[in-house]
A and B are shown apart, each in its own frame.
Chain A
Amino acid sequence: MKVLFYGRLSEAIAPEIELASSSNCSIAELRQRLAAAHPHAAATLRSQRSRVLINSSLVGEDFVIGASDQIEFLPPVSGG
């Protein structure tokens, strides 16, 4: 499954990675898994100010990821 990263996560990890199946894993578990794989980005991955979208919709920490879902990690945003 595909995971897209933006902002500082895109720079620290990659704009996009292919993840070996994370289906049946919750968002909270995915954060931990990615943080372990990318320790230099762990704080941002674990931060609740970094939001996670599944198929373009914001989801909570308990959401269980399906095999064909597209995942997006949005670190804290700032306009103006």
Chain B
Amino acid sequence: MSVVARLEEHRLDPRQELGELLAQAGGDGAVVSFVGIARPHSKSGAPVDELVLEHHPILTRQSLEEIAVGAAERFDVSHVRVAHRCGIIPAGEPIVFAGASSAHRRAAFEAADYLMDRLKTEAVFWKREIGEAGAAWIEPTETDFADRDRWG
């Protein structure tokens, strides 16, 4: 069993994250991964050039760790890996990698789903979309909170 939870200030390479998870997962039958990517438009359709993710000097890393450990404890998984960007993220670039490996697929699927539902509502970041129209703060929607609440 291993749990990786990292905050990346400059670069996140999903291929490398998946490669490391696959390398760790020897003996497992399933690896599931999710990559979140900065969208080039807002919910209203306005163009977005970049996302800016502010973080807290202590709590952000703690929150990533707590969420990753939560998935490892809850599901029958061998490895959990979370890597999350902060700072300026141009549209089209990856924001987050969340993955898990397990003996059988269901646990890894559920762990990845759980990781993202908690990251959306509990990871300590403050997110702004920056585009031609200016900057807009992005907060979890009621759907995001309902998705989080599915896990109790």
Hey, which bits of chain A sit against chain B, CB under 8 A?
6-8, 10-11, 53, 56, 74-80
Q: Is the CB of B126 within 8 A of A8?
A: yes
- Where chain A touches its partner, the secondary structure class is loop
Hey, which bits of chain B sit against chain A, CB under 8 A?
36, 53-54, 56, 58-59, 63, 84, 95-96, 116, 119-127, 137-140, 144
Q: Please measure, in the bound complex, the distance between the C-alpha atom of A75 and the C-alpha atom of B95, giving whole angstroms.
A: 20
Number of A-B contacts (CB under 8 A): 58
Q: Is the CB of B58 within 8 A of A77?
A: no
Q: Please measure, in the bound complex, the distance between the C-alpha atom of A7 and the C-alpha atom of B119, giving whole angstroms.
A: 17
* B67 to chain A: closest residue by CB: A79
* A12 to chain B: closest residue by CB: B137
Q: Is the CB of B137 within 8 A of A77?
A: no
Q: Is the CB of B54 within 8 A of A79?
A: no
Contact of A76 among B84, B95, B140 (CB under 8 A): B140
Q: Please measure, in the bound complex, the distance between the C-alpha atom of A10 and the C-alpha atom of B128, giving whole angstroms.
A: 13
Contact of B140 among A8, A56, A78 (CB under 8 A): A78
Q: Please measure, in the bound complex, the distance between the C-alpha atom of A56 and the C-alpha atom of B124, giving whole angstroms.
A: 13
Contact of A6 among B126, B140, B144 (CB under 8 A): B126
Instruction: Add 15 more A-B contacts to A77-B125, A77-B140, A80-B84 (CB < 8 A).
Output: A6-B126, A7-B126, A8-B137, A11-B137, A56-B58, A77-B121, A78-B125, A78-B126, A78-B127, A78-B139, A79-B84, A79-B122, A79-B124, A80-B116, A80-B120
